[in-house]
Amino acid sequence: MSFDIKQIFIPSVGIDIVFNMDSLTPYSRSSIIYDVNYNDKTIIIAQPLTPFSKNTTFKQLHLTGIIYFKNRKLRAGLKCTKFTIIKSYTLKNKETVPAVVLKYELPVKEANIRSAFRLPLSTNYIIKGKVIHENLEYYTAQDFSIRDISLTGLGLAISKKRNNHPNPLINLKSDDEIALGIILINITKDKPIGTIPIRALVTRVNLNYSDTHILVGLKILKVETQTETTLNKFIHDAQIDELKRLSRRNL
């Protein structure tokens, strides 16, 4: 199944650049399309928050976007073969910004990825939550904070002290399972974007993260379809918001 590129990849549309889509560890970076030349098969995008550089390497590179097709939501992908970095790209408002030119190949096909770039939380997009472990409850921001998040995992910065006493959460070990409830928040909105229950597996523990906190990496064990959709949109919107802030544009 293929799709019309001129209906999907157009200027001002938010997209995800996916690296190594068919590998066991794909990852993505969000961006915005500045311009498209369908004759030359090139697309100019904003430099992502984690930028392309001369040292960027990959086995596969795809440009992807969410579309609606026959009453269902899916991700459409376009294979890219190479990239060129533009240090100063001139926008229509005469402002100059860093950009990337992607050379692509047709056709546009349905794409399926299970991983995402780990999102560091920003000013407008935050996550509050609760951890339940060994019949005790722990809350942000007193006991821990969510440092970053993706479709497959989270990073928790856990306070070493809880009410001036050792925080029991610092005793988490690799392969421990914990339950979380997280609330996705865009502070510019009146209501939370969504509340998500999660079961997760501890995959790493860094006891020397800082003098006051340890860092715990979690792998999400199961993601329902609706949960994945909500979380994916939250991550995507947060990265686009940060790109707008950095580029000082109102797209």
Looking at the chain, the whole-number percentage of residues with pLDDT higher than 90 is 41
More confident of the two residues 235 and 46? 46
Token code pair at residue 98: 């860093």
pLDDT digits (tens, 9 = 90+) for 33-88: 999 999 999 999 999 887 898 888 889 999 998 787 777 777 889 999 999 999 99
Tokens 């546009």 correspond to what residue?
108
Angle (CA) 114-116-118 rounded to 5° is 145
Q: State the first-to-last Cα distance of the chain, in angstroms, to the nearest integer.
A: 31
- Of 45, 66, 9, the closest CA to residue 247 belongs to 45
pLDDT of residue 25: 61
Strand order in the sheet with 194-206: 119-120, 144-149, 153-159, 213-220, 194-206, 177-186, 125-133, 136-139
H/E stretch holding 69 reads strand 61-69
| C-alpha neighbours within 13 Å on the C-beta side of residue 140 | 15
Cα–Cα distance measured from residue 79 to residue 60, given in angstroms and rounded to the nearest whole number: 8
Angle (CA) 16-222-31 rounded to 5° is 10
CATH of 119-238 among 1.20.120.1200, 3.30.450.70, 3.30.300.160, 2.40.10.220: 2.40.10.220
Cβ pair 169, 143 in contact under 8 A: yes
Fold match between domain 2-117 and domain 119-238:
no
Burial class (CB in 10 A: 0-12, 13-18, 19+), 2: exposed
Burial class (CB in 10 A: 0-12, 13-18, 19+), 226: exposed
pLDDT digits (tens, 9 = 90+) for 105-164: 999 998 865 554 566 666 788 899 999 988 889 999 889 998 888 878 888 999 998 888
Phi, psi of 207 (to 5 degrees): -75, -15
Cα–Cα distance measured from residue 86 to residue 45, given in angstroms and rounded to the nearest whole number: 10
Average pLDDT over residues 169-176: 92
Cβ pair 169, 138 in contact under 8 A: yes
Angle (CA) 205-210-212 rounded to 5° is 100
What is the chain's Cα-based Rg?
Answer: 20
Decide if domain 2-117 falls under CATH 2.30.110: yes
Per-domain residue ranges of the chain: 2-117, 119-238
